Amino acid sequence: MTESPSGIEQQPGGVAFADPGYRAAVVDLLGVIAYGEISAFERLAEDAKLAPSLEDKVALAVMASAEVGNVVRLRERLEQLGADPFAAMQPFRAAVDAFHEHTAPSDWLEGLVKAYVGDGLARDFYREIAAFLDVETRDLILAALDSTAHSTFVVERVRQAIERDHRVGGRLALWGRRLMGEALSQAQRVAADRDALSSLLAGGVDRPGMDLAALGRMFNRLTERHAQRMADLGLAH
């Protein structure tokens, strides 16, 4: 028998979900990721209308289809835990929808940067929380987050646009900073509004409250990874 970083004991076949606080945290996390994947599918399908070429349109369609596959796997896991997938997603609709409303791209390039930078921040946040989970759930989440990576396509398109017109870089850099602020606000809201997730972030569901110092370090890591993504795109952070 071993322990996860949260102190939850793990059996060879997975974690014992006897602790209601731990189960609630897992259901919350799967719910917010699943709804985020649905929102990403909707956004990518909408952004495909702005694609300048058929190749780009197909590339976004492929990305969108990957999001749908993730939703199916996450829904199945929630059902295995005896949870209603739709009830699990419902508490996070307001925060996720608000993020997308506040960061609606005005053109193709802004949509690409949002897909790379905004989604990257969200995925990093979920990976941080997943570190405290049982192996089976953690592996499912990490596989879902990794399966929808589209860094090569986005980086190539954005860098090509900057090479054609250097003024584009300044505009997209400002856009990236705005995405950063909105994404962090959303992440903080999600973490603070759900007691189970807050406890999990503090190091385990058996410890009340939130370790603000540790949370601060986590958001520093998110900021550093964002800066690296901006650099990958050829944009100043």
Mean per-residue pLDDT, 64-76:
87
Confidence band (pLDDT; 50, 70, 90) for 45? confident
Pick the CATH number of 19-233 from 1.10.287.180, 1.20.1260.10, 3.40.640.10, 2.130.10.10: 1.20.1260.10
pLDDT of residue 237: 57
Which has more pLDDT, 146 or 71? Answer: 71
Average pLDDT, the chain: 82
Confidence band (pLDDT; 50, 70, 90) for 204? low
Q: How far is CA 160 from CA 6, 168, 171, 196, in A?
A: 44, 10, 15, 44
Q: What percent of the chain has pLDDT over 90?
A: 34
Which has more pLDDT, 28 or 207? Answer: 28
Exposure letters 182-203 (e unless 16+ CB within 10 A, then b) = bbbebbebbbeebbbbbbbbbe
| pLDDT tens figures, 131-159 | 878 888 888 888 887 765 567 888 999 99
Beta strands 9-11 and 2-3 are antiparallel
Mean per-residue pLDDT, 1-10:
43
Which has more pLDDT, 173 or 18? Answer: 173
Q: Is the pLDDT of residue 4 over 70?
A: no
| Phi-psi group of 86: left, alpha or beta (phi > 0 → left; psi -120 to 50 → alpha; rest → beta) | alpha
